[in-house]
Amino acid sequence: MPLEKQVQILLFYLGHGIQYRLVTLVLYYFWFFLQFSMEFGSFYFMTICLQIADRFNLSESMVFQAIEDLCTVLVEKMMPLYIKWLASEAQERTADFFEDAYGFEGVIGCIDGMHIPVHKPLYCPQDYYTRKQVYAIQLQAVCDEHLMFTHIFAGFCGGSHDSYVLQNSQLYLDHSLDIKKWFSEPEYHLVGDCAYPLMSYLLKPFPKKEGMSKRKKLYNKSLSGCRHTIERAFGLLKNKWKILTFPWTHDPHKLTLVTGACCVLHNFCLVHGGAADVHDFVPPSEGNTAVSHESDAAKQKNAEEEFVMTSTLAIKWHGVGLDGKDKESRILKRFEKS
């Protein structure tokens, strides 16, 4: 089979998923009875592949093989080329962007997790059952200001907490050994939501509680503005690759392979000019709003100076103590300067 046709098959498969005009009625009537069946994922997959085989005038076995082979090539060969941690100069540019746009210094990436739905797995299904009462695997990702993924960790059980997923990823394990390998400057870090622990290279918002100082609120608002970048990246990923939006298999390993391939293609499209309408994925509640921290900081010059720090895992930077609390305190003080 020509390589060009294999690529067309893969893009149709990842980008379209099920063609609802052909099978929606069938799925609608049988959904209630089949949604808990372990074979329903195979039914989804077979439906997609039958449509592709009919469209490209191929056998189903050739479609299966083309999809699996190309996904494997994308993950094993192209992922190291298109999903790469930022180099020193790129880290500096990214940190400058987030500081200019949101008033939060030292940010070289935003981290978050996303559930990719899967049908009830054959083995240990309880591990994949999420708080939303669906089965899923976890996709943990870090992105830069251009919505490009710089690190991904896919395939962990969906029922696991985001902090536990982080602790089992290379992003956590390597940092505990050599943090300078990942961050060119000690003041650089990632930002995440409250689900993550506070660490020397990962900052998160203050817990919302009554009586929170305005200075902390401004800190949270600035950090939240940065963190919306990863939410936009996830929105763009799922909008472009529809296969990630519904369960089609009960094999987490197969879904992990497809998820990795979609992330590679996500970056490939952005690199080669496929970033159209990315601003449509700004969360509607708050949007991509730059924080005018100078005027707000002037208003909060006399704000209370004592604040409660959350627990942290302190990691030393070549013998110099620089943990999450140090960074949090230093950045927080910026918002009280006039």
In order of 27, 190, 244, the CA distances from 258 in angstroms are 23, 26, 8
Q: Which residues of 6-31 are buried (b: 16+ CB within 10 A; e: fewer)?
A: beebbebbbeebbeeeebeeebeeee
Helix pair angle (324-334, 214-240), 10° resolution: 110
Structure confidence by residue, pLDDT tens digits, 107-119: 999 999 999 999 9
Instruction: Give me the residue spans of the domains in the chain.
Output: 3-81, 84-255+276-334
Q: Which residues of 61-85 are buried (b: 16+ CB within 10 A; e: fewer)?
A: ebbeebbeebbeebbeebbeebbeb
Contact 188, 203 (CB under 8 A): no
Cα-trace Rg, the chain: 22
The rounded average pLDDT for each run of 10 residues, N- to C-terminus, in the chain (338 residues) is 88 71 43 45 65 84 89 96 95 96 95 95 93 94 97 95 93 74 91 93 90 89 95 95 88 95 96 58 36 37 32 29 70 68
Give pLDDT, residue 175. 64
All residues at 6 or more sequence positions from 298 whose CB lies less than 8 Å from its CB, including other chains: 338
Q: Which residue has the tokens 């190309």?
A: 70
DSSP β-bridge partners for residue 109: 190
DSSP states of 190-216: EE--TTSPEETTEE-PPPP-TT--HHH
Token digits of residue 131: 């708080």
Give pLDDT, residue 337. 57
Give pLDDT, residue 20. 40
DSSP β-bridge partners for residue 138: 115, 156
